[in-house]
Amino acid sequence: MNYDPKAMAAAIMKSYITDTPSLEEMIYVKGKTAIVTGGTSGLGFCTAQRLLQGGAKVVISGSTEEKGRAAEALLKEAGFQNVAFCRADLRSEAEVEAMVKFTADTYGSVDILVTSGGSWSFAHIYDLPEEEFMKTLDINLTGAYRCAKHVSRYMVDHKIQGKIVLVSSNVAYQPQPVFGGYAHYAASKGGVIAMTIEIAKELKRYGIMVNSVAPGGMKTPGGLTNGPVRSLSPEKQMEIGKELTVEKLDSVPTADSVAMVIYGMCTRMADGVTGECIVADSGMMRNIISYQPAIEQYPPAE
């Protein structure tokens, strides 16, 4: 049979119509089940709400029972009934594994994982206690590994072509705050980005897409309450506390603005994306701002 380029081109053009899923199928997550770690507050809570709006069943997890039950009740009061809380400490592999089992037993599947649970504090490297460094990595990096490990195992075993979104941070690219104090957090979140690429490589053959979303600063309860490492002396806490007030941003993104990006990465709109880190910081990393506030505090000149 002779090769007919015109017929081939016509067949390709027709396939664009016949093989294209509906926009509704691409945008919504109806029938999917999601786990959102850190879903009891801030970014995780906003992400859970968006996934519920999109039609998913959602398990929110956190390490505090009281916060978890309150968040679950708040979502149910808003009309979302397909949501359940599961207490899980990301530092415990047994609890993470139990969380995945709870989700599968409750809703019959695990199709989406979002790891927004995290910990942060502030201290300069010369004052940073080793236990604080290790704790931050254990929750932010090793915790994300534990979640990805057990969720991907479930997805592979059940032939689920799911979505995994590991929340990192733009601090992996841009040192923060103005005078530092974030080495442990930056190490943990930089590790998440590197791990995302490797996990994506491993899971591509199973149709599981793995990406990272890197926020910047956001308006969250955690952002308003976290401060210097608590084991530092009062003098050191006061010193770094003053430094944290130096930086002035033209605006602080809402948690929902980042949650919407995460939501998009959980849908079929992201079928063609894996191993990527999407920076969702409203231009902060690129120094893209609407105006430059005056910065009045600088180290005194010698």
How confident is the prediction for the chain on average, in pLDDT? 91
The answer to whether position 151 is within a domain reads yes
pLDDT bin (cut points 50, 70, 90) of residue 273 is very high
What is the pLDDT at residue 141? Answer: 98
Structural domain that includes position 135: 24-282
The answer to whether position 295 is within a domain reads no
Per the structure block, which two tokens stand in for 133?
Answer: 């460094």
Q: Residue 114: is its pLDDT beyond 70?
A: yes
Answer whether 279's CB lies under 8 Å from 170's CB.
Answer: yes
Mean pLDDT across 215-242: 73
The answer to whether position 301 is within a domain reads no
Distances in whole angstroms, Cα of residue 156 to Cα of each of 70, 111, 149, 153, 204: 33, 11, 11, 5, 11
Whole-number Å distance between alpha carbons of 104 and 100:
6
Per the structure block, which two tokens stand in for 184?
Answer: 């442990």
Helix (H) or strand (E) holding 291: none
The answer to whether position 13 is within a domain reads no
Write down the H helix ranges in 164-288: 183-203, 221-225, 234-244, 255-266
Mean pLDDT across 150-154: 98
The answer to whether position 293 is within a domain reads no
Answer whether 51's CB lies under 8 Å from 58's CB.
Answer: yes
Query: 56: domain CATH number?
Result: 3.40.50.720
The answer to whether position 249 is within a domain reads yes
Work out how many domains the chain is built from and give that number: 1
Whole-number Å distance between alpha carbons of 119 and 301:
35
Select which of 107, 154, 185, 263 is catalytic: 185
The answer to whether position 69 is within a domain reads yes
The answer to whether position 8 is within a domain reads no
- 185 included as an active-site residue: yes
Three-class DSSP labels, 73-106:
HHHHHCCCCCEEEEECCCCCHHHHHHHHHHHHHH
Give the pLDDT confidence of 18-35 residue by residue, as tens digits.
999 999 999 999 999 999
* DSSP structure class, residue 157: H
